Chains A and B, each alone.
Chain A
Amino acid sequence: MLKSYYSLINKWLIALVCVVAVTSILLLFAHTPPLTTYKLLLKGSLSSRAKLARVFQVWVPLMLCSCGLLFTFSMKLWNIGIEGQVMLGAIGATASLMWISPHFAPWMCLILSLGIAFILGALWGFGSGLLKTSGGVNEIFGGLGLNFVAQGLILWLIFGPWKRPGIASMSGTKPFDVSLWLPHIHRFPVLGMLLALIIFILTAILLSSTRQGLKFKALGINPKAGKLYGLSPTANTLIAMTLAGGCAGLCGFFQVTGVYHRLIPAISSNYGYLSLLVVMLANYKWWPIPFISFFFACLNVGSIQLPLILKIDSSLSGVIQGICVLVFIWVKQLSVFERADDT
């Protein structure tokens, strides 16, 4: 037991050292002092309440998408289409707010728009699931295709039917009335955080203590054996894809009502793709998700001011996130630890 803890700590230590080392080397190549950069990253994300609030604005969408991906990953499905599912959720949220806001109280509109966002995202996920189960299209290709369709749909809406009166621009549709904004407290997206927590808890419960979660896990391991016991790989693939799409749809809802207050072309902010990394770094387990999401959100927010001060691009956060995942996967595969784990 002690030995396995020891190896676990060792593993993380090695991973951490590797990440820092590789990133530092990269920074040195770019003629940027690494230490200053790390300090800035930290300061940029955690040094004030306003910055922390921004971190949580990123944390919420990452959490929602990651929860969705947990379902598909437990079935060993690669739901790359999560981006498109986020976009469809955003479209659903925007559409419902536009159409019903004159007729109902704002809070009712928000609830309804949440529902519609969930359903549209779920449908998009179901679609790529259906492509897989009925047409044999790998979920990666189907999802990627549907992402392009979703992006096209958003652009068409922004420049077509939903364009601002008089002008059509990349800045998106006309902003909603403040009454339709998801309320914040001290800039913290409290309702969004609550939503993310609720979804996270539901996901954790579903995966760890219901028959459905066990079915996902079992079929992910061996769909052939599943059939012997009357479990349907097809039905469960569709269920997992639909649930993932629904969660992504909620992320789209949050992006529209809690962050941008309108539909913009980059509404998904690539959080879907980033969540793939979050879940991989979490080793497909549910419990590390909030922490890794938080870490990634800090990197994202902290890197925003890098270009101003150090004249390096803010995409550094992406580089660090990528390196984290690669190093983690590499360390995980190291045979030394495999053996230590078995004992």
Chain B
Amino acid sequence: MKIRLENICKYYGKVKANDKISFTIEPNSIHGILGENGAGKSTLMKILAGFTPKTSGKIFINGQMVNYNTPTKALELGIGMLYQDPQDFAGLTVLENFLLGLKTSWKIKEYEYTVKLTNLCQQLGFKLQPEAYLKDLTVGERQQLEIVRLLALGVEVLILDEPSTGISTQQKQILFTALKRLAKQGKSILLVSHKLEDITELCDQVTVLSNGQVTGEFMAPLDTEQLLECMFGQKLKQIINSGSIFPQPKNKSTPLVQVRDICSDHGRIRLKNCSLSIYPGEIIGIAGLENSGQELFLRILAGLVRPQKGTITINGKNLTEKNNRTFLQNHIHFIPTNRLEEGLFADLTLLEHYLLVFQQSFWLKSKSAYKLCLQKIEDLKIKGLPNTPAKALSGGNQQRLLLSLLPRQAKLLILEHPTRGLDVESALWVWQYLQKCYGLKASIVFSSPELDEIFQVAHKVIVFYNGQILLSKKISDTTPEEVGNAIAGKVEHA
């Protein structure tokens, strides 16, 4: 099936997630869509799979214009999507899951479908036991089942979203062989990824997106330099390596926190031997694409998740097996990026937040907390009143509230994308506030998808890729290009 996209646009308010995207997907081929976080890949795929309606633009299938806006309609047209998280029923068997998506008669002839399932599996080189329960399967196997199910539904165009995340190398090879086989059979495969190696290994043709626009189209053989240039392009060149707004920490003292060989297996994300030393007053920026492991790493660092292997020492004290209260007692504080879901109490007022965090006495002393609350509201310019519930605050003000809940004596602040959803001015304010209150007094480890933010703020940058720390360098010793390459999984070995 040949699919042609013409001027696809998707606007969310002022944000242009997709801006006039046009390209053609040929049959018998594997077509890659490459781009960093927020480039517009996912939105485009959701439009194609019928999950999100497009703002404007046209889709042609074999030359005929089609209009659809539900996944069911897309499936009828032969377009199926494999999601990053398998959409299946863990409590059922492989066969039952296989049957659920199909149109069967009310009386199911189990044998017939077992044969069908086994045949399809054999063709693709998958080894799935029909009677096995899904909860006992690996993510890779569940993915295989999903592919088989989609094929049984008659899908001609298969969209895969980051399929190699969280599966073993072996399973990746099985998957890639199967995909190549399917392409040969005449199917069109659309592979969405931010991993250069996957794209270069598989794809016959690649479309690179950046900022919602197509910035390049390439045919195999692919040149990684060119791809990277297209992916980050002008962006990296615009970043000025002007040095951190935070004062440089004093020369090498002993590290405040030492993380050694952390390994952790948490669903799709696996951390492998991650080590990091944090010196007093040091600001460390973590770069990496979504789900590369940084989210889990930050939570381990905060004591919220226990690693399976490795040690964490703080000022020489081993805290590996301790819970997060001990981490708090050692002045380590974490601010998650999902403010309302993980960091604040939606229905509690500002006053109640301060009462809860800053008072330890049995009786609540509302008067003194009220004073403190007014003080904080003024200091941090929070647009709210003491009796405003947290959920009524805007994103920026929620962030200010979270910051105001950090104690002055904090030694290590762990901030997960602290400026998410903030406009430039608010983002700048956040960093200035942190610098004013904690400059040289505390270390900060933060993650951010914005490289320019990391280059403006951090002393040191580390890059996560596939659960590993791929790069760890002082900002002064690296370039935006080098970091950009590492984010996509490419490091030059000096």
Instruction: Give chain A's interface residues, CB within 8 Å of chain B.
Output: 209-215, 217-218, 221-222, 224-232
CB < 8 Å: which of A221, A229, A230 contacts B346?
A221
Inter-chain contacts of A212 with B (CB < 8 A): 362
Assess whether B73 is interfacial by the CB under 8 Å rule.
no
* In the complex with contacts A215-B356, A218-B352, A221-B348, A228-B363 CB distance below 8 A: no
Q: Is A211 touching B363 in the complex (CB atoms < 8 A)?
A: yes
Inter-chain contacts of A225 with B (CB < 8 A): 342-345
Binary contact track B313-334/A, C-beta < 8 Å → 1, others 0: 0000000000011001100011
Listed by A's residue number, 11 A-B pairs whose Cβ atoms lie within 8 Å are: A211-B361, A217-B345, A217-B348, A218-B345, A221-B348, A222-B344, A225-B342, A225-B343, A228-B334, A228-B343, A229-B357
* In the complex with contacts A215-B356, A229-B356, A222-B361 CB distance below 8 A: no
A225 to B304, CA, bound (A): 11
Q: Is B342 touching A229 in the complex (CB atoms < 8 A)?
A: no
Assess whether B102 is interfacial by the CB under 8 Å rule.
no
Say what secondary structure dominates the interface of chain A.
helix
Q: Is A221 touching B347 in the complex (CB atoms < 8 A)?
A: yes
Inter-chain contacts of B328 with A (CB < 8 A): 229-230
Inter-chain contacts of A222 with B (CB < 8 A): 341-342, 344-346
A182 to B344, CA, bound (A): 48
The 6 tightest CB contacts between A and B, nearest first, are A221-B345, A230-B328, A230-B325, A218-B345, A224-B342, A222-B345
Q: Which chain B residues (338-382) contact chain A, with CB distance < 8 Å?
A: 341-348, 352, 355-357, 359-364, 366
B424 → chain A closest CB, angstroms? 27
* In the complex with contacts A224-B341, A227-B304, A218-B356 CB distance below 8 A: yes
Q: Is A214 touching B356 in the complex (CB atoms < 8 A)?
A: yes
* In the complex with contacts A209-B363, A227-B324, A230-B325, A214-B352 CB distance below 8 A: yes
B395 → chain A closest CB, angstroms? 16
Given A210-B362, A224-B342, A226-B345, 16 further pairs, Cβ under 8 A:
A209-B364, A211-B355, A211-B356, A211-B359, A211-B363, A214-B355, A215-B356, A218-B352, A221-B347, A225-B344, A228-B334, A228-B335, A229-B405, A230-B325, A230-B329, A232-B325
For chain B, the count of residues having a C-beta within 8 Å of the partner chain is 29
Q: Which chain B residues (231-259) contact chain A, with CB distance < 8 Å?
A: none
A221 to B348, CA, bound (A): 8
Say what secondary structure dominates the interface of chain B.
mixed
Inter-chain contacts of B336 with A (CB < 8 A): 228
A210 to B355, CA, bound (A): 10
Inter-chain contacts of A213 with B (CB < 8 A): 364
A110 → chain B closest CB, angstroms? 30
Inter-chain contacts of B355 with A (CB < 8 A): 211, 214
Instruction: Give chain B's interface residues, CB within 8 Å of chain A.
Output: 304, 324-325, 328-329, 333-336, 341-348, 352, 355-357, 359-364, 366, 405
A211 to B361, CA, bound (A): 7
A231 to B366, CA, bound (A): 20
* In the complex with contacts A215-B356, A229-B357, A230-B328, A210-B346 CB distance below 8 A: no
A62 to B405, CA, bound (A): 40
Inter-chain contacts of B352 with A (CB < 8 A): 214, 217-218
For residue B346, which residue of chain A has the nearest CB?
A221
For residue B302, which residue of chain A has the nearest CB?
A228
For residue B325, which residue of chain A has the nearest CB?
A230
A213 to B364, CA, bound (A): 9
A149 → chain B closest CB, angstroms? 28
Inter-chain contacts of A229 with B (CB < 8 A): 328, 356-357, 405
B41 → chain A closest CB, angstroms? 29
A339 → chain B closest CB, angstroms? 14
B87 → chain A closest CB, angstroms? 25
Inter-chain contacts of B359 with A (CB < 8 A): 211
A222 to B336, CA, bound (A): 13
A205 → chain B closest CB, angstroms? 9
B306 → chain A closest CB, angstroms? 13
Inter-chain contacts of A231 with B (CB < 8 A): 356
CB < 8 Å: which of B333, B334, B363 contacts A210?
B363
A211 to B352, CA, bound (A): 10
A228 to B359, CA, bound (A): 15
Inter-chain contacts of A210 with B (CB < 8 A): 362-364
Inter-chain contacts of A230 with B (CB < 8 A): 324-325, 328-329
A215 to B363, CA, bound (A): 12
A227 to B333, CA, bound (A): 11
B303 → chain A closest CB, angstroms? 9
B302 → chain A closest CB, angstroms? 8
Inter-chain contacts of A221 with B (CB < 8 A): 345-348
A280 to B336, CA, bound (A): 33
A215 to B348, CA, bound (A): 11
Q: Is B364 touching A214 in the complex (CB atoms < 8 A)?
A: yes
For residue A342, which residue of chain B has the nearest CB?
B392
Inter-chain contacts of B335 with A (CB < 8 A): 228
B278 → chain A closest CB, angstroms? 19
For residue A209, which residue of chain B has the nearest CB?
B364
B418 → chain A closest CB, angstroms? 14
Q: Is B342 touching A211 in the complex (CB atoms < 8 A)?
A: no
For residue B357, which residue of chain A has the nearest CB?
A229
Inter-chain contacts of A227 with B (CB < 8 A): 304, 324
For residue B338, which residue of chain A has the nearest CB?
A224
A252 to B364, CA, bound (A): 32
A229 to B375, CA, bound (A): 21
The residue in A213, A221, A224, A231 that gathers the most chain B C-beta atoms within 10 A of its C-beta is A221
A221 to B390, CA, bound (A): 12
Inter-chain contacts of B356 with A (CB < 8 A): 211, 214-215, 218, 229, 231
A232 to B336, CA, bound (A): 18
Q: Is B364 touching A228 in the complex (CB atoms < 8 A)?
A: no
Inter-chain contacts of A226 with B (CB < 8 A): 345
A212 to B360, CA, bound (A): 10
* In the complex with contacts A218-B348, A229-B356, A230-B324, A211-B364 CB distance below 8 A: yes
A209 to B361, CA, bound (A): 11
A222 to B359, CA, bound (A): 19
A183 → chain B closest CB, angstroms? 34
A189 → chain B closest CB, angstroms? 32
For residue A212, which residue of chain B has the nearest CB?
B362
A133 → chain B closest CB, angstroms? 14
A209 to B355, CA, bound (A): 11
A341 → chain B closest CB, angstroms? 12
A232 to B333, CA, bound (A): 16
A210 to B363, CA, bound (A): 4
Q: Is B362 touching A211 in the complex (CB atoms < 8 A)?
A: yes
A218 to B354, CA, bound (A): 12
A214 to B355, CA, bound (A): 8
Inter-chain contacts of B342 with A (CB < 8 A): 222, 224-225, 228
A296 to B359, CA, bound (A): 39
